[in-house]
Structure 1
Amino acid sequence: MRGEYKVPGGKLVAVDVEVEDGRLARVTVSGDFFLEPDSALGDINAAVTGMSADADADQLAHAIIGALDDSVSLIGFTAQSVGIAVRRALGHATSWADHTFDLISPVVLDPAMHVALDEVIAREVAAGERPPTLRFWDWDSPLVVIGSFQSVRNEVDSAAAERHGIGVVRRISGGGAMFMEPGNCITYSLVVPGSLVEGLSFEQSYAFLDQWVMGALSEVGINARYVPLNDIASDKGKIAGAAQKRFVSGTVLHHVTMAYDIDAEKMTQVLRIGREKMSDKGTKSAAKRVDPLRSQTGMTREAILESFANHFRAQYDTRDSDYTEAELDEARTLVETKFSTESWTHRVP
């Protein structure tokens, strides 16, 4: 069996392995990485040979680290990357190429429906009723979507929100508040099985799941980079933030919101944290519009969304899809019974 893993920003690690009586046998690690001294390659192979075929990536990495002394340099790869490659060889971990993704183009809905659909789609992927899914949001009304663990009163000026007709909904993932008006940002949700991020730390999985969008941003002329833990920045500053939710089923929800044409004056009236962030950056006038994607690309929001979708199609095996009536009905029920209730929205006052 053979497994491969490309280290983000690093080299390719490949592992050929057999299993005998539940143990790893005839392990051969290879790749375009660098290793000094080269004799350490045999030590790496020996370290995992004989280990249980059920060992996870962390256990495999720990065995490798324990077998190498301080004189060994792993360049372009890590012990953990070897562990991930082994897990892929055994079928416990998967790569992008192992999946066909449903791709759902923007559908205009109440933004609270998109928050509910995150939960609905995640359940279906976990149950095998949908393959891994990338879906783009579009919405018809303003809303502040706060992170699962944020305090409403600390994040939102309720009087300003009411004055501007902006509601508040709490999502199921952590992270910061999303100030959403029609046409002001680009948001997508990616739901994948846990096998795709097998062996990756939370921090590593953020960058890993957004690898595709870095290429998509490059295609529209933006030189972007990932800033740990969960920010995407260009040469002109932060342009996006990511959030994640990992379910007991193993399914991972990963979503990103990018600023396209945000009214910073209104945002800083409604979001209390917005005022602090603006003052921290030395911004004197909140009236200045924050529109990094529009100003940096000169493209319409619709054109950027289409370019992003086409880039994803070019990278991975996809099929175009849409929401089913059953999914929309379930989302409506969740909005009514959970996401629009005081007990959920204000569970952190």
Structure 2
Amino acid sequence: MPSKRPALAMPWRLLITPEGSAAYNMAVDEALFNACRRDLSPPTVRLYSWHPPAVSIGYSQDAALEVDPDQCRKYGIHIVRRQTGGRSILHDDELTYSVVTPENHSFAGSTGCEMYRQVSQILINALRSLAVCGVMAEERTSQENMNGACFSQAARYEITVQGRKLVGSAQRRAERHILQHGSELLGPGHKRLPMLIPAKEHHRRASMIQTLNNRTISLSEILGRVVHFDELAERVSETFFGSSALSFDSGYLSDDECRDVNTLIRTKYSRPEWTFSRKMNHVE
């Protein structure tokens, strides 16, 4: 049953969580989505980072074509499957955001595309405070290999600087609610992804390296200095708080959300059945 609460009047919650493992980060995003769908929590914006680095693969991707577990173990990199679509990405040296909200909130719009636009506008405003000029990409005009890296091209409303992709995003919609999460590149760590693909896919490696070098850009490259998570998180949170259209409160995970996180880690995101076969282990 859809919530009867007036979505436009709901204050939003802003979470800045400590760096977490791949399983933890994906479990928190799903727990926030679940709680919002059950009307147990407000619309939420979360900012977070990853430790250790991790490859996340899109919901529908074939893990066997995207990542070599032995190579990941060699470099101490985790692997996780997202609940959103899109392509693989190496989360290393970035700020990741997630947003959960009912569809009937004006921030989401009637199709979900409006949320892509509004989130990107807030991130662009935050970039301006660092003297970085970001722009929203237009609709894709080329049909490229969808088994490539997430950052190989920019989709509509994703953010580019100097014609190269800085922010990539993906959505999931269910039961009249939306989860959107995305990555803003702080440094060049994402460019290590080609060395993690399976040996049988080696023919893709050279083109992936070229694409990531030519079509992506990080804040550190733009500014000519190291940009840390805390610096960007402060700018982004200030921009969200300063948005005239939204009311925000700082918050934390509820007890119910924490329990859901622990369950999702145990039964889903830490398990190879989910990562490699998209199957959940229903254990108590």
- For the superposition of Structure 1 and Structure 2, which TM-score range results when normalised by the shorter chain? 0.7 to 0.9
Which residue of structure 1 aligns with residue 181 of structure 2?
255
* 1:209-224 alignment, distance < 5 Å: 209-224=119-134
Shift, 1:330, TM fit:
1.8
Shift, 1:157, TM fit:
2.7
Which residue of structure 2 aligns with residue 341 of structure 1?
271
Shift, 1:102, TM fit:
0.2
1:107 counterpart SS class? coil
- Corresponding residue to 1:246 among 173, 178, 201: 173
> Residues 119 and 348 from structure 1, CA distance in 2 versus in 1: closer, same or farther, beyond 3 angstroms?
closer
Shift, 1:127, TM fit:
1.9
CA distance in 2 between counterparts of 1:320 and 1:282 reads: 37
Which residue of structure 2 aligns with residue 323 of structure 1?
253
Please give the TM-score of this superposition, normalised by the length of structure 2.
0.77
- Corresponding residue to 1:266 among 171, 174, 192: 192
CA distance in 1 between counterparts of 2:195 and 2:162 reads: 27
Which residue of structure 1 aligns with residue 146 of structure 2?
none
Q: Which runs of 5+ in 2 are unaligned?
A: 140-154, 280-284
Shift, 1:169, TM fit:
0.7
> Residues 105 and 199 from structure 1, CA distance in 2 versus in 1: closer, same or farther, beyond 3 angstroms?
closer
* 1:159-174 alignment, distance < 5 Å: 159-174=70-85
Shift, 1:282, TM fit:
7.5
CA distance in 2 between counterparts of 1:149 and 1:270 reads: 19
2:90 counterpart SS class? strand
The answer on 1:226 being equivalent to 2:157 is: no
- Corresponding residue to 1:193 among 102, 110, 118: 102
CA distance in 1 between counterparts of 2:35 and 2:271 reads: 24
Aligned-partner residue type, residue 98 of structure 2 = S
Aligned-partner residue type, residue 267 of structure 2 = T
1:346 counterpart SS class? helix
Which residue of structure 2 aligns with residue 312 of structure 1?
240
Aligned-partner residue type, residue 136 of structure 1 = L
- Corresponding residue to 1:179 among 90, 95, 103: 90
> Residues 137 and 325 from structure 1, CA distance in 2 versus in 1: closer, same or farther, beyond 3 angstroms?
same
Which residue of structure 2 aligns with residue 278 of structure 1?
209
> Residues 169 and 281 from structure 1, CA distance in 2 versus in 1: closer, same or farther, beyond 3 angstroms?
closer
Shift, 1:268, TM fit:
2.1
Shift, 1:201, TM fit:
3.2
Alpha-carbon contact 2:58-2:86 (below 8 Å) kept: yes
> Residues 203 and 311 from structure 1, CA distance in 2 versus in 1: closer, same or farther, beyond 3 angstroms?
closer
Shift, 1:236, TM fit:
4.8
CA distance in 1 between counterparts of 2:119 and 2:70 reads: 37
Alpha-carbon contact 1:150-1:348 (below 8 Å) kept: no
Alpha-carbon contact 2:127-2:134 (below 8 Å) kept: yes
2:125 counterpart SS class? helix
Alpha-carbon contact 1:147-1:177 (below 8 Å) kept: yes
For residues 20-78 of structure 1, give each alpha carbon's deviation from its aligned partner in whole angstroms, at most 9, with x where no partner exists. Answer: xxxxxxxxxxxxxxxxxxxxxxxxxxxxxxxxxxxxxxxxxxxxxxxxxxxxxxxxxxx
Q: How many matched pairs?
A: 248
Shift, 1:167, TM fit:
2.0
Greater relative contact order, per chain length (Cα 8 Å cut-off, separation 6+):
2
The answer on 1:140 being equivalent to 2:68 is: no
Shift, 1:301, TM fit:
2.7
> Residues 144 and 274 from structure 1, CA distance in 2 versus in 1: closer, same or farther, beyond 3 angstroms?
farther
Alpha-carbon contact 1:111-1:138 (below 8 Å) kept: no
Q: Which runs of 5+ in 1 are unaligned?
A: 1-90, 284-289
Percent of aligned pairs with the same residue?
22
Aligned-partner residue type, residue 231 of structure 2 = A
Alpha-carbon contact 2:191-2:212 (below 8 Å) kept: no
1:150 counterpart SS class? coil
CA distance in 1 between counterparts of 2:114 and 2:169 reads: 13
Aligned-partner residue type, residue 324 of structure 1 = S
Please give the TM-score of this superposition, normalised by the length of structure 1.
0.64
The answer on 1:237 being equivalent to 2:164 is: yes
Shift, 1:314, TM fit:
0.8
Shift, 1:199, TM fit:
5.5
Aligned-partner residue type, residue 278 of structure 1 = I
Task: Please report the RMSD computed on the Cα atoms of aligned residues, expressed in angstroms.
Answer: 2.7
- Corresponding residue to 1:302 among 225, 230, 250: 230
Higher alpha-carbon deviation: 229-238 or 118-127: 229-238
